[in-house]
Structure 1
Amino acid sequence: MSARITELSRRRFLGGSLMIVAGAVTAACSTDPTGGSSSSGARTTLNVWYHAYGEAGAQQAVLRYATAFTKANPDIAVKVSWVPGDYTSKLNATLLTDAAPDVFEIGDFSESLARRGQIAALDDLYGSAKADFNENAVSSVTVDGKLYGVKTIDDVMVLYYRKSRLSKAGITPPATFDALATAAKDLSTKKNKGLFVGNDGLGDSAIMAVRSNGGDLVADNGKAVFDSPQAREALTGLKRLHDDKSLLLGFTTDWWDPSAITQNVVPMQWCGLWAMPAIKTALGDDFGVMPWPAFKAGGTPVVRVGGWTTCVNAKGKKVDAAKKFVQWLWIQQSDLQKDWSQSYGLHIPPRKSVAAAADKLSQGTAKETVELAAAYGKNNPGTWSTAVSTVFTTAATKIVGGQGDPARLLEGAAKQAQSDIDKQRS
């Protein structure tokens, strides 16, 4: 699941740490792992951080993986730290201290971690397997030609729709934004709205709108480019959803949870592949998926690709052991990678061979989502930090709310964003 979702209430799990020692799981103090490792004879103990996944069984799975690693490498003990709440803030703060983890996962990849020497280049781990990773998985972790992480899951976000509701209204899945806006309006009733993109009425829609009109967020040279004519046109057009009052706002859960569509509150919802098992359980085959449509004829449909990437702390004292763990789990163990992707929610394995062997992704709407990701998938830029995202979202919110001149709002936001991007790249 994408990085920002970890800050939401869905992640209210109990946190804690467990030590994997010589193949056994024992409780351990998160600040004193050495007692457990010395009793096992392990010379090294790795501290490995995961955010608190909400999917049932995920925590037990990473413990099993660590157990298997230590069984194969008895000189290396593994302490798994399961971190609840605002994972990103906790990680960034801990990376500045001596308690920083040796191995950790991050959501949307942060280019600044590589540029300031916080994470190690991992090119030597890939070998011939590099060609087996999909293009987004490689490009998203590449900084100045080097690979600084290993993508572990791709989380794909698409528009879900109720087939029966659209069919009854004589509506085909929209291929342009104008058709989407028309459908959302026509499907709205006195009691229900036609579309849910997030409780704030925006969610990912501003990013999708810009990209579906041929615009971009940040160029490869690090220049903020979301103040383009394409972006202004798309965001101004996005205002129509708000003017038509066809968006569901302030629901009991946000867009990452499928309850709005499964409970028949809306016939169309932006959500992730991870929710597909729950949607299928609730609706059977009465749902389909589609990309965010092209803004206009000649534009490009878009799906959002997020996910999680494992990195090695370059400033730690156990870099070699940490690399060994990452290589063993995320390069060599294709069976565990398959298990991780489809047994706890539903995600796309970044490895092409593993994705091809994932039976739960081989048919129906799951297969269609995989194909949409391959055709239209876009990652957020590596410089799309919280600060950059916030200034863009603030401007987009004002534009769709009719609270200012779009050109001036985006120009001002781009200047603020550029300042942060320059700091990241310096």
Structure 2
Amino acid sequence: MSARRPDLSRRGFLTGSLLITAGTVLATGCSSDPMAGSSSGAQTTLNVWYHAYGEAGTQQAVLRYATAFTKANPDIAVKVTWVPGDYSAKLNAGLLTDAAPDVFETGDFRERYARSGQIAALDDIYGDAKSDFNANALSSVTVDGKLHGVKMIDDVMMLYYRKSALAKAGITPPTTFDGLVAAAKALTTERTKGLFIGNDGIGDAPGLAVWSNGGDLVTPDGTVAFGSAQALEAITGLGRLHDDKSLLLGFTTDWWDPAAFTQGVVPMQWCGLWAMPAITAALGDDFGVLPWPAFKAGGTPVVRVGGWTSNVNAKGRNVAAAKRFVQWLWVGQADLQKDFAESYGFHVPPRTSVAATAQKLSTGAAQETVALAAKYGKHNPGTWDTAVSNAFNAAAAEIVQGKGDPAALLAGAVKKAQSEIDQTPGR
């Protein structure tokens, strides 16, 4: 359920909005008026936005949650708006209109929203539960010491490998980058490639490479750090996978979908925990999971932790009611948090007590993945917005493809990214 799949809307989800009040769905439609249809004594109508999740049953789940909330809080109606397509672009446009959401989710938290005053600080709604949220879930939404969202789910991304394929080739699951390169090359045949990290041959790999070599992307104070010697070395090293022609490129779906792996097109794929139920259904226990390996001695393995965060529109008309909704659902309702995390693909509940009760995550490869996230998890910095990440990824793509001077390309990306961050309001 990470922020990677705008094209999933083609699966035919219900679009538009559903209005819920006093525990009942009252109306459907696509009205631009967030108060449209309010009745049954509700004094406030909240407009709550979700992106069009790809996992079956997710939309029905969030409608059930809203129904339960309005039953417990009959003075607040909830208009659930399901947004297909390019969610980020539609959200940014929607926030400028009178129909802006009161509550909305973000994938990979954006610090810019907090510094511009777009989202409210939510320290007051955590209460005693704050200590129950994992450190990653808190640090990823913290700006200037204040919490500007509540993490809904942690999405863990890691390497899947086919046990039987590696065993047949006499290959040990790789624990170093050299080992990963060698395994991908050895597993590449005339009919298959050894590794899938994305249709562009890049995916998350540049950031993973930097972290795995002891580098950083952006420091907490907003200084771009991916121009370091460690970063340059690691990104340049990714070119070995391209030189060996061991990467699958241009598959019918991208890295977030496990189809290339489950269909035997590749024996190794970068994907997410959300895909594990589908992988298990297709392959049984013939798969294992690994972190992205350390680039070299002194580095560290990495898994990426993304996910979705619930935010309150500080410029909306219903801030107090919006906080009540977020607190009720994502702080107070442990049973619903667990349902959201393990019933529609697998995800890690950000609250440690809830994660401990998620039975589907307590055995096998899922349990191993949760442990990897706790030990090696990294989240993109809050400054990692579209302009910053695009500058980095464009330079990385040219570097790994051998186009231009690597140091100059990376230095140019640093300059662009730093300019974007320095222009952030409040910096």
Which bracket does the TM-score occupy, shorter chain normalised?
A: over 0.9
Deviation (angstroms), 1:33: 4.5
Deviation (angstroms), 1:423:
1.3
Check the 8 A contact 1:11/1:84 in 2, yes or no: no
2:94 matched to which residue of 1? 94
Structure 1 position 319 matched with structure 2 position 334: no
Opposite residue 368 of structure 2, the aligned amino acid is: E
- Separation in 2, partners of 1:101, 1:35: 14
Q: Distance in 1 between matches of 2:180 and 2:12?
A: 34
The runs of at least 4 aligned residues of structure 1 exceeding 6 Å deviation read none
SS at structure 1 position matched to 2:280: helix
Q: Partner letter of residue 38 of structure 2?
A: S
The answer (yes or no) to whether the contact 2:108–2:382 under 8 Å persists in 1 is: yes
Q: Which residue of 1 aligns with 2:349?
A: 349
SS in 1 for 2:315: coil
- Kindly state the Cα deviation for residue 14 of structure 1 after the two structures are TM-superposed: 3.6
SS in structure 2 of the partner of residue 155 of structure 1: strand
Q: Does 1:60 align with 2:60?
A: yes
Query: Distance in 2 between the 1:14 and 1:21 partners?
Result: 19
Q: Secondary structure at the match of 2:270?
A: strand
SS at match of 2:208: helix
Match in the other structure for 2:234: 234
Match of 1:264?
Answer: 264
- The one-letter code sitting in structure 2 at the alignment partner of 1:160 is Y
Separation of aligned partners in 1, 2:345 and 2:401: 35
SS in 1 for 2:308: strand
TM-superposed CA distance for 1:285, in Å, is 0.2
Number of corresponding residues: 425
Indicate if the aligned counterparts of 2:9 and 2:84 stay in contact, CA closer than 8 A. no
1:10 and 1:228 map into 2 onto residues whose CA distance is 41
1:44 aligns with 2:81: no
TM-score (norm 1): 0.98
Q: What stretches of structure 2 of length at least 5 have no aligned partner?
A: none
Counterpart amino acid of residue 117 in structure 1:
G
In the alignment, which residue of structure 2 is the partner of 1:34?
Answer: 35
Match of 1:291 in 2: 291
Distance 2:337 2:65 in 1: 10
Aligned-partner SS, 1:3: coil
What's the CA shift for 1:72? 0.4
SS in 2 for 1:404: coil
Q: How many angstroms does 1:8 deviate by?
A: 5.7
Which residue in 2 is equivalent to 1:151?
A: 151
Deviation at 1:364, TM superposition (A): 0.2
Q: Is the 8 A contact 1:7 1:87 kept in 2?
A: no
Q: Cα deviation per residue 1:211-233 (whole Å; 9 max; x = unaligned)?
A: 10001100111011101000110
Q: CA deviation at 1:319?
A: 0.5
Cα distance in structure 2, aligned partners of 1:229 and 1:8: 38
Deviation at 1:56, TM superposition (A): 0.7
Provide the rounded CA distance (Å) in 2 between the counterparts of 1:271 and 1:161: 10
Q: Distance in 2 between matches of 1:49 and 1:216?
A: 32
- Name the aligned partner's letter for residue 37 of structure 1: S
Structure 1 counterpart of 2:411: 411
Q: What's 1:180 paired with?
A: 180
| Equivalent pair of 1:28/1:36 in contact (CA under 8 Å) | no
Q: What's the CA shift string for 1:370-408, capped at 9, x where partnerless?
A: 000000011001010111111111100000000011111
SS for the counterpart of 1:383 is: coil
C-alpha displacement of 1:333? 0.3
Counterpart in 1 of 2:223?
Answer: 223
Q: Match for residue 142 of structure 1?
A: 142
Unpaired runs of 5+ residues, structure 1, are none
How far apart in 2 are the matches of 1:77 and 1:385? Answer: 33
